[in-house]
Amino acid sequence: MSRTGSAPLDAVLTTLEERRPAYEERVARLVAIPSVSTDPAHAEDVRAAAETVAGWLREAGPLEVEILATEGHPAVLARWDGAPEGAPTVLVYGHMDVQPPDPLEAWTSPPFELTHRDGRWYGRGVSDDKASMTIPICVAEAFFAHGAPPVNLRFLFEAEEEVGSPNLPAVVRAHAERLACDVVLSADGGMWRADLPALTTRARGMTGLQLTVHGPTKDLHSGRNGGAVANPLHALAELVASLHDADGRVTVDGFYDGVEGPDAATQAALDALPFDEEAYRAGTGAPELHGEVGYGTLARLWDRPTLEVNGIGGGYQGPGSKTVLPSHGFAKITCRLVAGQEPSHVLAAIRTHLEDRVPAGVTIDVATERDGAIAYRIPDDHPVLTAAEAVLKEVFEQDPVRVGMGGSVPITAAFRETLGAETLFFSFSVADEDIHAPNEFYRPERFRAGLEAWARLWDRLARDAASTGAETRR
Amino acid sequence: MSRTGSAPLDAVLTTLEERRPAYEERVARLVAIPSVSTDPAHAEDVRAAAETVAGWLREAGPLEVEILATEGHPAVLARWDGAPEGAPTVLVYGHMDVQPPDPLEAWTSPPFELTHRDGRWYGRGVSDDKASMTIPICVAEAFFAHGAPPVNLRFLFEAEEEVGSPNLPAVVRAHAERLACDVVLSADGGMWRADLPALTTRARGMTGLQLTVHGPTKDLHSGRNGGAVANPLHALAELVASLHDADGRVTVDGFYDGVEGPDAATQAALDALPFDEEAYRAGTGAPELHGEVGYGTLARLWDRPTLEVNGIGGGYQGPGSKTVLPSHGFAKITCRLVAGQEPSHVLAAIRTHLEDRVPAGVTIDVATERDGAIAYRIPDDHPVLTAAEAVLKEVFEQDPVRVGMGGSVPITAAFRETLGAETLFFSFSVADEDIHAPNEFYRPERFRAGLEAWARLWDRLARDAASTGAETRR
C-alpha cells in the first residue's frame, strides 16, 4: 500500500523491531543527562541533551537539523520535505528537559541512571518525556532506511517545557515558515491508562506565582520577641487558607470567570468512561478523594480549574526544633486552567485577592513564576483524531476512548495561533508513571507499541491524504 | 571588708582585670566548639564543650568536678564547701549548648569562629550562653588565687538547654543533696537592654509540638491529580490559620486557662519602664508591631502567652517551580507560657483543637517535640534581688530596673521544686544580641562588667549573711 518513494510500512515495522534494543539504549543515554531546566546549575546538561537529540536526527536521514538558541535553553529544529506531492506535513513536538529529582532520598535507584526493575524502566524524565520523544526520531530513521517517510517532517524539541515554555512561542513565531505544517503530533501528553488505549483531546492550561510574606528583617528569637511582632508564617497560613472554601472551591473573586465546563456532551462522555474511583484513590495513596463540591472525579481532573500550593516554606526546617520567629515565608502556587480562563486575568485576580487580605504586621510580595498557558482542546471532528483512533485499534486491538488531561502542554496554543495547526497528543507514556515525583517510570512495552503506532500513523495520514484527498489540516 | 579566709575583693577585682585577656580567650575556645544539642551529628562536640568547661573548673581551684552522664548530653557539676561558717551557698547555673547556626548563608563571619568586628564579638552561642557562663568560672578562679571565695559554690552546667532540658530535672533530683543551696544564680537569661541595668524577675514557660499533615503517600503531579486529591499544604494552612483570630488571640479552647497576667502591680511596673516602642520595632525590622489586642508591647512580651510557628514546610522548596501535589507538610510550633498555664494542659488543648478540625482528604499527626516548662517568677521581696540591685548600681553607676523576659529558662522550676531554691537571673548578655539567629553577638564590655558584678555579688551575699544574719534563702 506504500506510495511512490515512500518506504513500505511492513519493512519499516520489521526494522523498528530489529533496531529496538539500540533505540532503547538511546532512552538510557538521554535519561543519563540531568536536563533539569528549572535549575541554572544544569544549563550545560540541558544543552548536552539538545546536542544528543540533534545528533540522532542527523543520523536518522537527510534532515536539515539546527540547534536554536533562545533567551533560555536551546531548542532543536529539524525538517525534511521529500514526501510525494500532496503528502501531508506533520510537526513532531516533544521536550528534552525534566523536573528536579528531589526528594532524592525517596528514589530507589539513582534518578539519572535508567534502571530496569520489575519489568519497568525507572529514571527522572523517562516517562516525561524522554522515552516518548525518542520514538518518532527512531521511526523517521527506520523509514529513511527503506527509502523515505510518507509525510513531510518537522521536529521541534524544546528544553523548557518544565518551566512553562517561556521562549518557545517566540521560536515558533520566528521560524513559522519553516515549521508550517498540517498538524502537530505531540510526543508529550501521556496516555490515560495502561490497560485502555486513549486519545487525549484536551489539556488544562496553567499559570503560577510565588507569594512571599515578609515580617522582621531577620529571624528573631521567638521567646524574646514572640507576641509583639507578627509571625509571617501565621500570615502566610491565613492567606493560603483564604484561597479555598470548605466546598473545595477557589474563593478568589474572578477566578472562575469564563469557566463553563464540563458541558453536557463532555459530561456524558465522562459518564460513559470506565473509571474505578477506588483504584484511582488507592494509586494516589490519599485517605480519600476530595475536591470541588458538585463535580465528579474526572470532571475535577480534566474540566475544572484548580489552585494548588506546590511548596510552602519558612523558618526552621531541620530536625528537632529551633525557637525562631522567622523573617519570611513563601508559598509556590500554580493553577490549572480550563477553557474560558485567561492566565493573566487569573493571576491578576489572585494578586488582588492576596493584596486585599494582607494581615497586620507583615508585607507581601507576589512574583509571577511563569508565563501562563491557556487550556487546549482539539476539535472533536478533526481528521487526525479518526486516523489515530484507527491506528491505536490496530496496535492495541481494542477500541480507544477519548479523554481529557489534567496536565498542561502550553505550546499547543502557540501552534494554533502561529501555525494555524491543531495538536494531536500521541504519547505512549501513561499517566500513572509518577512523573514529577520520585521513582518516575516507563513501561518498556509502550516503547515498542509507540514505535509501531507512530509508523502506522504517518503511513495512514499519507494514505488518507492520497486516497481520499481528505485534508489532514482542518 | 573581706571576712576570715576569703580573698579580699579589691585584689580579686584587680586579678580579674589582669587576667581578662586570658578569660576572653576561653570564650573564643568555647564558641569554636559547635555544641548544637538538637542535632545528633554534634553529640561529640557537645561532649567536648563539657570537657572544656570541666577542665576550667578543675583549674579554678580545689573544686570537686564531675561530668555527669545523662540519657542525652552530659552535664558538668562542681562544688566547693570551704567558705566560712554561716556563709551562704550559691548554685551557679548555665548552659554549654547552642542553637543550630542555620541559615548559614546569612552569617557575615563563620558562626563557630569568634570574630571581633565593630566592637562586638560574633559567633553562635557567644551571647546564649557561652560568654556569660564562662564569667563565674573565672571569678571563682580569681577568688581562689587570693585565698578562697566568700560563699560555698555549686556549679551546674547543662548541655540540653536549647532542646528544653529534658534530662536536667532528673540530674537535679539525683544529685539534690550535693546541689543543695540557698539560691541559684543563673548565668543564663540575658539583660533587657544595653543602656539600662536590669534584673529579670520572670521568664515565660514553654511547650511545643510538630503538626504533620499527610495526604497522598507520595508527591503527585499537580496537573494529573490536582482537583481530585486534597492538597495537604492547603489543609496545613487551614489548620495553622485556625490557631489565631484576627485580634491576635490564640483560639485554642483552654489555651488561656489559668492566665491572669499582668496583674495591676505588674502592669503599673510595666507602665513605669522607659521603653521606646519605635526603637524596638526598628530593631526587629518588622513593618509594624502587632500582637494580642488589649495589651501593650511589654505585656505581650513578658506577661502574655504565645503560640508561634517556628517553621513550616512541604512540597518543593528549591528555585523555580515544580508542579507537585505534595504528600505532606509540617508546622513546628512552640508556645511561650505564663504563670497559671500547665504545659501538658496547653499541649492537650492544641492537640484537641487540631484533631477536631482535620480537613477532608488528609490525616494529621501531632508529635510532642519537647517537655514543657512552666513559667517562672522570683518573689519580689527575695533578698538576692536587693543584693543584686546594689551590685548593679555599683558596677553600672545607674539604678537598675526589674523586668520580665519573653524567653524561657525551664530549669528554674526544677530548682524550686527539688532544691527549694529561687533563681536570680544574673546574665550579662543583652536581649538584642540576635540569639538563635544569624550573626549572634556579645558586647565585650559586658564581659568585663560581668566579671566585676559576679565577684561583687558573691562578696555582698557573704557580707549580708555575716553582718545582718539575713537569710540568702527566702
Number of other CB atoms surrounding residue A147 within 10 Å: 17
Q: Give the B window 179-218 contacts with A, CB below 8 Å.
A: 190, 204, 206, 208, 210, 214-218
Give the pLDDT score at A262: 94
Task: Give how far B359 is from chain A: nearest CA, Å.
Answer: 8
Of A218, A321, A438, the CB nearest to B332: A321
A79 close to B (CB below 8 A)? no
pLDDT tens, B153-195? 999 999 999 987 889 999 999 999 999 999 999 999 889 889 9
Cell digits for A431?
499517566
Flag if B311 and A326 touch (Cβ within 8 Å). Answer: yes
Distance in Å, alpha carbon of B384 to nearest chain A alpha carbon: 24
| Closest CA of chain A from B406, distance in Å | 4
Instruction: Pick A387 or B5 by higher pLDDT.
Output: A387
pLDDT score for B370: 60
- From residue A232, alpha-carbon distances to A329, A351, B230 in Å are 6, 18, 24
Report d(CA B335, CA B343) in Å as an integer: 9
**Alpha carbon distance B201, B189 (integer Å):** 10
**Per-residue pLDDT at B343:** 94
What's the average model confidence in pLDDT over A211-218? Answer: 97
**Which of A240, A325, A431 has the CB atom closest to B234's CB atom?**
A240
Contacts of residue A360 in chain B, CB cutoff 8 Å? 248, 288, 290
What does pLDDT average to over chain A? 94
| Contact with chain A for residue B405, Cβ under 8 A | yes
From chain A, the residues in CB contact with B38 under 8 A are 318-322
Smallest CA–CA distance, residue B286 to chain A, in Å, is 4
3-class DSSP state for residue B458? helix
Q: What is the pLDDT of residue B1?
A: 39
Question: Hey, what domains does chain B have and what are their CATH numbers?
Answer: 9-203+375-468 (3.40.630.10), 205-268+296-373 (3.30.70.360)
Is the pLDDT at B29 greater than 90, yes or no?
yes
Residue A3 has what pLDDT? 47
**Minimum distance, in Å, between the CA of residue B16 and any CA atom of chain A:** 31
A311 touching chain B per CB within 8 A: yes
| Closest-approach residue (CA) in chain A for B325 | A310
A208, closest residue in chain B (CA to CA): B321
Residue B37: closest CA among chain A residues belongs to which residue? Answer: A320
**Burial of A174: CB neighbours in 10 Å, binned 0-12, 13-18, 19+:** middle
- Measure CB to CB from residue B220 to each of A230, A284, A324 and give the nearest one: A284
In angstroms, the separation between the Cα of residue A318 and the nearest Cα of chain B is 9
Across the interface, whether the CB atoms of B438 and A218 are under 8 A apart is answered yes
Mean pLDDT over residues A121-139, rounded?
A: 98
Cα–Cα distance for residue pair B101/B255, rounded to 1 Å: 32
Task: Check: CB of residue B32 under 8 Å from CB of residue A312.
Answer: no
Please report the DSSP string for A252-316 in residue order: -TTTTTT---S-HHHHHHHHHS---HHHHHHHHT-SS---STTS-HHHHHHTS-EEEEEEEEEE-
Q: Is A240 on the interface with B (CB under 8 A)?
A: yes
For residue A155, give the nearest of A97, A96, A93, A95 by alpha carbon: A93
- Reply yes or no on whether the pLDDT at B470 is more than 90: no
Give tens-digit pLDDT for A287-299: 999 999 999 999 9
Instruction: Name chain B contacts of A243, Cβ cutoff 8 Å.
Output: 234
B217/A240 Cβ within 8 A: no
Give me the pLDDT at residue B469, please.
Answer: 61
Report pLDDT for A2.
Answer: 42
Of the candidates A244, A286, A329, which has its C-beta nearest B234's C-beta? A244
Q: Coil, strand or helix: which one is B12?
A: helix
User: Average pLDDT, stretch B444-454?
Assistant: 98
Q: B3 falls in which pLDDT band (50, 70, 90)?
A: very low
Looking at the partner chain, which of B99, B312, B320 has a beta carbon nearest the beta carbon of A322? B99
Question: Residue A20: is its pLDDT beyond 90?
Answer: yes
**Minimal C-alpha gap between B127 and chain A (Å):** 12
**For residue A215, which residues of chain B lie inside 8 Å, CB to CB?**
286-287
pLDDT, one tens digit per residue, over B304-339 is 999 999 999 999 999 888 899 999 999 999 999 999
Q: Are B142 and B455 in contact (CB under 8 A)?
A: yes
A-B CB pairs within 8 A amount to: 359
From A316, A334, A407, residue closest to B321, measured CB to CB: A334
Chain B residues within an 8 Å CB radius of A367: none
CA distance A233 to chain B (A): 6
> pLDDT over 70 for what percent of chain A?
97
B371 has a pLDDT exceeding 80:
no
C-beta atoms of A40 and B319 within 8 A: yes
Does A278 reach chain B within 8 Å, measured CB to CB?
A: no
Per CB-CB distance under 8 Å, the chain A contacts of B297 are 228
**Hey, is the C-beta of A279 within 8 angstroms of any chain B C-beta?**
no
Mean pLDDT of B457-469: 89
Q: CA-CA distance, B458 to A235, in Å (whole number)?
A: 48
Chain B contact for A251, CB < 8 A? no
The CA distance from A421 to the nearest CA of chain B, in Å, is: 24
Strand A363-373 with A205-214, pairing: antiparallel
For chain B, say whether A288 makes contact (Cβ under 8 Å): yes
Residue in B with minimal Cα distance to A304: B227
Pick from A106, A284, A405: CB nearest B229: A284
**Whether A436 and B322 lie within 8 Å, measured CB to CB:** yes
Q: Considering only residues 121 to 160 of chain A, which have any Cβ-Cβ distance to chain B shorter than 8 Å?
A: none
Q: What is the pTM of this model?
A: 0.82
Question: Does A259 contact chain B (CB < 8 Å)?
Answer: no
Q: Let me know: does B369 contact B311? Beta carbons within 8 Å.
A: no
- Tell me the CA end-to-end span of chain A in Å, nearest whole number: 25
Q: Contact at 8 Å (CB) between B197 and B321?
A: no
Of B245, B330, B436, B441, which to mutate for an interface test with A (greatest number of A Cβ within 10 Å)?
B436
Check pLDDT > 60 for residue B471: yes
Residue-level pLDDT at B386: 96
CB contact under 8 A, B285 and A321: no
Strands A198-203 and A120-122: unpaired
Closest CB to B436: pick one of A221, A301, A320. A221
CA distance A18 to chain B (A): 35
Q: Are B277 and B297 in contact (CB under 8 A)?
A: yes
